[in-house]
Structure 1
Amino acid sequence: MQEIRKIVLTGGPCAGKTTAMSWVQNAFTEKGYKVLFVPETATELISGGVAPWTCGSNVEYQTIQMRLQKFKEDMFEQAARTMPDQKILIVCDRGELDNRAYMTQEEFDSILEETGWNEVDLRDSYDAVFHLVTAAKGAEEFYTFGNNAARYETVEQARNLDNSFIAAWTGHPHLKVIDNSTDFEEKMMRLIKEISGFLGEPQPREVERKFLIEYPDIAELEKDPSCQKVDIIQTYLKANENEEVRVRQRGFDGNYIYFKTTKKNISDTQRIEMERRLNLKDYLRSLMEADPTRRPIRKTRYCMGYEGHYFEIDVYPFWDDKAIVDVELQDKNEEVIFPPCIKVIKEVTDDASYKNTELARI
């Protein structure tokens, strides 16, 4: 059966996004994918004379841009379904929520009200989001205006814009941030590795560390504009030994999407993980295969980025004194710098009793 995946490639100014497109094209064409690129909508509009400074207001411009972007993506998906290729990867040069970095909350809310869209649907309409960090954060000597005539941001402005892009996508179930901790070629290789892992291509590996933390200040988390709240119901299905299969409903305020995830452990800290989107009908059908020895897990997840890492804080209804935080790393020995709001009790990466599969046992 044909499999179509849609991802976003985003990032701050001078992050290597243009070069990354070539790497993605080459790498995944070799892996048998038909790779389609949805060009950056802002560049098309501005080069054609339609810009925030030529329209009546920023809200009017952003509404036009978001409508056009959505139309283009819909057309690419429609075209993909007509193609004979079995594996199709649609790569969006920026996605709908990148526009949030150029708007106030009030402006963004007014667009949602006018269009009838909601933030969860816009954000999670993409299967994965890959953010390339600007050279202005950690590779300042390579920050340049020479490869983009439209670039005008100072180093400090580039850093702030980069943070705004990450904040806009925070809460997405598969957001990966590719920083400048290595040279540029290795940065591109890490991007390809992350996309490969997401697509379930040969031996994708993920290093994850888990920590037991003090119960967080929920009011403070919900006031933090860079922190996103997600409600999750997770149901485990019957599976083979050394394999975990689950379906998940996630979203907020009545707007939900559905996933099926298969994980196969290859060590205590590494696993192969493959994930795909489900429609509501397939999700409900999957629930018929629920593992009778485990109850569904309900939790509220607070997602936030900090110091180049992506943290997921899970708060469970049956605990009022503790919670769990997960952080994904490139290497199991990588140092983790926690946000001030996280008070670590102990690491529980290797403690099976804190895994969701165990918490779900009846």
Structure 2
Amino acid sequence: ALLFHLKVSGTLSHTMHKNNRNVFGKKVVKVVFTGGPCAGKSTSIERVKELIDKQYGDQWNCYTVAEAATVMYSTGRISRDELIGPRLKRWQRDIIECAMTFEKVFDNIGKGEPTRHTIVLCDRGAMDPKVFTPQYMWPQILEEMGTNEQQLMDRYDLVLVLHTAPDLNYTTENNRLRREDPATARKIDMKYADVWREHPRVFEIESNSENGMEEKFAAVWNQIELLLGEE
């Protein structure tokens, strides 16, 4: 039985940006892991890092970037429901800027690395806050930041959209901040896919089986290895 299916937007021949090499000629690339609740992002990131360190550690340094929103929500008593109007606008902008700051730390490490290539695995990216931002507010935030969606997407070489697990595998037990029921989770899941749809190299990976995580990860790892092997 088919355990997953892969949707592809863009082109498989998409190559790395020309500015993705540092002064030593070493590659510096970033990958976004996104998708709805209980999609396997955190597990996939951990496993990808483990495999890169084991199989490619002599050529690549691998770093992981925590999800900015999770870091911020974990710091204290912050309720998404209480964030409205100007408070929500400031909050969403802060999440974007926080994510970009986290990423910049590892961008800078990669730029100064003389002997190995660098790959940065991001638990969500700068476009993800759009999912929880009112439609009228999003352009205002980008204008205030002096940026646009194209520039935000161009920060990343590969986007992996891991879709929410089927109902039989859906759980909130492994994330204390997760509160969505399966139906709500699926709606949110599709919104994450939508906000990244214009990226030139985005892959959507769905799990359609109770045993689908292994097949889902195989698809993830395949895309990572393709990226590692590119010139």
Task: Give the TM interval when normalised to the shorter protein.
Answer: 0.7 to 0.9
Query: How big is the alpha-carbon RMSD for the aligned residues of Structure 1 and Structure 2?
Result: 1.7
Q: Which amino acid aligns with 1:93?
A: D
Alignment of 1:13-52 (within 5 A): 13-29=37-53, 30-32=55-57, 33-49=60-76, 52=80
Aligned-partner Cα distance in 2 for 1:181–1:141: 10
Q: Gaps (5+ residues) in structure 2?
A: 1-24
- Structure 1 partner of 2:161: 131
Q: Which amino acid aligns with 1:144?
A: T
Q: Which amino acid aligns with 1:196?
A: E
Answer yes or no: is 1:149 the counterpart of 2:173: no
> 1 or 2 for the larger relative contact order (CA 8 Å, sep ≥6)?
2
Change (3 A) 1:154 1:177: same
Q: Secondary structure at the match of 1:179?
A: strand
- Structure 2 partner of 1:190: 219
Q: Which amino acid aligns with 1:68?
A: C
* One of 96, 100, 116 as aligned partner of 1:70: 100
* One of 27, 34, 42 as aligned partner of 1:3: 27
After superposition, the C-alpha distances for 1:234-277 in whole angstroms (9 at most, x for unaligned) are xxxxxxxxxxxxxxxxxxxxxxxxxxxxxxxxxxxxxxxx4x6x
* Contact map agreement 2:110 2:117 (CA 8 A) in 1: no
Aligned-partner Cα distance in 1 for 2:50–2:66: 17
Q: Secondary structure at the match of 1:79?
A: helix
After superposition, the C-alpha distances for 1:18-63 in whole angstroms (9 at most, x for unaligned) are 1111211122122232110111100111111356436852111001
* One of 116, 122, 130 as aligned partner of 1:92: 122
Percent identity over paired residues: 32
Q: Higher helix fraction: Structure 1 or Structure 2? A: 2
Query: Shift of the alpha carbon at 1:96?
Result: 0.5
Alignment of 1:116-265 (within 5 A): 116-135=146-165, 139-181=166-208, 183-200=212-229
Answer yes or no: is 1:113 the counterpart of 2:122: no
* Contact map agreement 1:45 1:51 (CA 8 A) in 2: no
Query: Shift of the alpha carbon at 1:179?
Result: 0.8
Q: Which amino acid aligns with 1:147?
A: N
Name which one, 1 or 2, has greater alpha-carbon Rg: 1
After superposition, the C-alpha distances for 1:145-197 in whole angstroms (9 at most, x for unaligned) are 11111111111110110100000000101001111145211211111012212
Query: Shift of the alpha carbon at 1:83?
Result: 2.9
Q: Gaps (5+ residues) in structure 1?
A: 201-273, 277-362
Q: Secondary structure at the match of 2:127?
A: helix
Q: Which amino acid aligns with 2:97?
A: R
Aligned-partner Cα distance in 2 for 1:105–1:76: 31
**TM-score, normalisation: structure 1:** 0.52
- Structure 2 partner of 1:80: 110
Query: Shift of the alpha carbon at 1:65?
Result: 1.1
User: How many aligned positions are there?
Assistant: 199
* Contact map agreement 2:26 2:113 (CA 8 A) in 1: no
* Contact map agreement 2:35 2:163 (CA 8 A) in 1: yes
Q: Which amino acid aligns with 2:56?
A: K
* Contact map agreement 2:37 2:189 (CA 8 A) in 1: yes
Aligned-partner Cα distance in 1 for 2:95–2:115: 30
Q: Secondary structure at the match of 1:58?
A: helix
